[in-house]
Amino acid sequence: MKTFYFCLKCVFFPAAGLALLLGVLIFSVPSPLPDAVAWPVSPALLDKNGELFHTRLSVVEEYCLPIPLSRMGKWLPIVALEVEDKRFFYHFGLDVFALARAVWQNLQSGSVVSGASTITSQTIRLTYPRERSLKNKALEFAQAIKLEWELPKKKILELYLNRAPFGGPVRGVEAAARSYFGKRAEELSLAESAMLIGMLRGPSLYRPDKNPDLILKRRNAILDRLHEQGIAAKQDFDMARLEELPKRRSAIPQQFRTYADFTLRNLPAGYWHQGTSPVMTTLDPFLQNMLGRQLNDSLVAFPASVTAAGGIMDNASGALLAYVGNARFNPQIQAQWMDCGNAPRSPGSLLKPFVYLLAMEQGNLVPASMLADTPLSFAGMAPRNYDRKYRGPVSAEFALANSLNAPAVRVLRRAGNEAVMQFLRNLGFSLLTKPARHYGDSLTLGGCEITLTQAMQAFSSLANLGIYRPLTSILSQIGDNRLGEQRLFSAPAAFLIAESLRDTGRMAPVLREAFNEQGRTVAFKTGTSYGLRDAWTAAYTPKHTVVVWIGDPEGIPHPALTGLPIAAPLALRLIRDISYNKNSAWYTPPSGVEQYTACSFSGAPATPSCPTRKQAWRIHSVSRTTPCSIHRMHGSTLQSLLPPELESYMNAPATSVARKEWIDITMPQPGTRFYITPHAEQQRIALTCEGAQGKVYWFVNQEFFGVQKNRTSLLWPLKPGTFRISLVDEHGNTAFTTCSVIDVLAKEPLPLQLDPF
């Protein structure tokens, strides 16, 4: 009898007291729901295919990657239920049978050996860490019961597996699977799942990289239990027992740092404090890897201080498909931590298309309009072109495509500095914060600052024929982009700019051939900042926009930093390698543009006096094109009346600065290959040049070949080999080029190794 009363005292009364306390607490404690479903998680980004590519520590310095229960694979939930709470789906948050067993076991041992925890109560404990006591245990059970009222069982199991610790800075099964096995949770085998669930008894104690023998024993015990219960078939059990433990930790993905920075900057503050799932981005892994590889290849010949940045954008959606802010990114080195794609840089001539576009929208210009590429004074200086030459009368489209400076300043003045400034700000160039008078005429020559991402956004609007769609890397924002799109300028004006920039004469021959073979057209604009500090190219098709930049993050000049020879081939190779739809390879002329017969020289509508004519584009009812006033008949004589800025240039003496200051060898072009036809007579080519003064002395492989007088042809006989052809004129000006001559019946000669000139 005494034993009975003792048991009643030790079992019934504590249980009754706990039940009474539970009853009071259930109705008095607040709901745990808001806190149970919100906790700090890792910033995590998925590419457009749903693959994780970048993860960072949460605000509590843990890796935690919550996923739905449906993506936890076959074995993890099954093993968790068997080991942690086999009656989970049959209790209400408190397992009465487990509680009774725990009380009895504790009485027998004289200490706490079992706490009768359920998965639900453990979820509460993870939400509210407390000291262990009878009161706190009762509070935990009360909140567990309340949580069961408010959430489905599967959701509670999902919360538990996403919040459970797995040793070190790892929380949740997804982060654990990637950290210990280098794979997703849904890919885990039976043995791998048993190991992870086995770690829950003591996450630090059972780490395989710390105590492999201990966790192996624990894992195998779980496998034995699963086999005994008929949960694991013998074949699965036998294979699982043979699996080895992971020998080392795997790296959780942390790729594409600057793309991740761009994306994370555009998420709301506190976004990763809410138990949020990874964010699906617009990143195309193929294009991202291609961009990184091409940028790195472009830097081979540069010192380590020079880096590159670039981005690829889908015009129709505004999606950022690929972005590298710094090809040499290394946060451990001060000079290489910067995201150069988000840093202010001088654009050089990159903004010229928008100046020309505004002038065309105003009706002040058409692509065929004649502009003067002649000396022009502004702010006490005269803008000169990169090659230090003036070309006299040129068309607007030629001046734009070839980045001529004096014509660009004249176009800026036609459009109006204030109007251009406001237009650029509307395009997203937010760093233009000072009044227009501060920039003056240098606004169109690079006397301001922009970022690569701003340039990408603006050129994408140009590629969309005037439609602005915000640049985004978050897939869920694409729909908002299309709803929020707006027209910033007219389609006809954008089309005229695209036609002006699609000139393939600026391309390297190999790229020109590649685009011709593809039947593809691309528009591109280069930019070189003052002092050779920044080399830019923006290239676009109706589908994609690519912008690249090469330079020193600290703004130190480098003699090779020029847009056309350095940045343009890089951007064009990227465009070339992006897949495309042949049906949308180029633009169909939009409504509002029309063709007219223009004077080949002035670009104005031709009159009967114009000696030659061509077909040109203009904007209907907008372009103010008066008939050509340059050509007129005086009796039977054709007269040409040039505007003052051209008249003075044409009459300038030969020694004027307005004349060409460099010599160009026009034949042979650098890198040209000539082929000798078998059994033919001696083949020859004419050696020609531009810009030379007086007699020209020619040399082949540093041996004198001949002298050219009065521009008479000088014929050079072809023979197999590789050659360096150079010249010097009477004023000491020099130039050189290289070429090769190939006998089609013989082996191709090796390239000639030349010393730097």
Q: What is the DSSP string of 563-609?
A: IIIIIHHHHHHHHHTS---GGGSSPPPPTTEEEEEEETTT-SBP-TT
Cβ–Cβ under 8 Å, residues 36 and 163? no
What letter would DSSP give residue 284?
-
Cβ–Cβ under 8 Å, residues 593 and 618? yes
d(CA 523, CA 509): 16
Q: What pLDDT does 8 receive? A: 45
Where is 536: in which H helix or E strand? Answer: strand 534-540
Q: How confident is the model at residue 106 (pLDDT cuts 50, 70, 90)?
A: low
pLDDT at 654 over 50: no
The Cα-based distances of 218 to 45, 116, 146, 197 in angstroms read: 34, 20, 33, 10
**Segment among 11-25, 150-164, 347-361, 366-380 with least mean pLDDT:** 11-25
Nearest-CA neighbor of 190 among 230, 166, 223, 157? Answer: 223
Cβ–Cβ under 8 Å, residues 573 and 310? no
> SS3 helix, strand, coil % of the chain, rounded to 5?
40, 20, 40
Q: Using CB atoms within 10 A of its CB, is residue 742 exposed (0-12), middle (13-18) or buried (19+)?
A: middle
Q: Using CB atoms within 10 A of its CB, is residue 272 exposed (0-12), middle (13-18) or buried (19+)?
A: buried
pLDDT at 379 over 90: no
Mean pLDDT computed over every residue of the chain = 85
pLDDT at 454 over 70: yes
d(CA 531, CA 511): 28
Which tokens is 284 given? 């195309």
**Segment among 419-433, 545-559, 622-636 with least mean pLDDT:** 622-636
d(CA 439, CA 218): 72
What is the percent of the chain with per-residue pLDDT over 90, rounded to a whole number? 53
Q: How confident is the model at residue 381 (pLDDT cuts 50, 70, 90)?
A: low
Q: What pLDDT does 269 receive? A: 76
What letter would DSSP give residue 281?
B
User: pLDDT tens digit string along 205-259?
Assistant: 999 999 999 999 999 999 999 999 999 888 989 999 999 999 888 889 999 999 9
pLDDT at 162 over 80: yes
Q: How confident is the model at residue 692 (pLDDT cuts 50, 70, 90)?
A: confident
Q: What pLDDT does 142 receive? A: 87
pTM over 0.75: yes
Q: What pLDDT does 656 receive? A: 35
Q: What pLDDT does 4 receive? A: 44
Cβ–Cβ under 8 Å, residues 457 and 535? no
Q: What pLDDT does 531 receive? A: 83
Q: What pLDDT does 133 receive? A: 77
Peptide bond connecting 353 to the previous residue in cis, omega within 30 degrees of 0: no
User: pLDDT tens digit string along 714-736?
Assistant: 888 888 888 888 887 766 667 77
pLDDT at 754 over 50: no
Q: What pLDDT does 22 receive? A: 57
| 376 or 755, higher pLDDT | 376
* Longest CA–CA separation in the chain, Å: 143
- Residue entry with tokens 């009967």: 608
d(CA 455, CA 427): 9
**Segment among 43-52, 67-76, 136-145 with least mean pLDDT:** 136-145
Q: What pLDDT does 645 receive? A: 75
Q: How confident is the model at residue 746 (pLDDT cuts 50, 70, 90)?
A: low
Q: How confident is the model at residue 263 (pLDDT cuts 50, 70, 90)?
A: very high
Beta 63-64 vs 170-171: how paired, if at all?
parallel
d(CA 606, CA 371): 17
Please give the domain boundaries of the chain with CATH numbers for all domains: 2-242 (1.10.3810.10), 664-743 (2.60.40.10)
Q: What pLDDT does 6 receive? A: 43
Mean pLDDT of 98-117: 56
Q: φ and ψ at 680, to 5 degrees? A: -90, 165
DSSP 228-275: HTTSS-HHHHHHHHHPPPPSSPPPPPB--HHHHHHHHHTSPTTGGGS-
pLDDT at 679 over 80: no
Mean pLDDT of 322-327: 96
Residue environment code for 181-216, b if the CB has 16+ CB neighbours within 10 A, otherwise e = beebbbebbbbbbbbbbbbbeebeebbbeeeeeebb
Which tokens is 235 given? 């074949």
User: pLDDT tens digit string along 429-445?
Assistant: 999 999 998 998 899 99
Nearest-CA neighbor of 361 among 152, 28, 553, 624? Answer: 624
Q: What pLDDT does 429 receive? A: 96
d(CA 216, CA 219): 5
Q: How confident is the model at residue 377 (pLDDT cuts 50, 70, 90)?
A: low
Helices (H), 601-698: 644-650
Q: What angle do CA 119, 124, 130 make, to 5 degrees?
A: 125
**Segment among 22-31, 53-62, 427-436, 500-509 with least mean pLDDT:** 22-31
Crossing angle between the packed helical segments 417-426 and 405-415, to the nearest 10 degrees = 90
pLDDT at 330 over 70: yes
d(CA 109, CA 111): 5
d(CA 695, CA 417): 46
Cβ–Cβ under 8 Å, residues 194 and 81? no
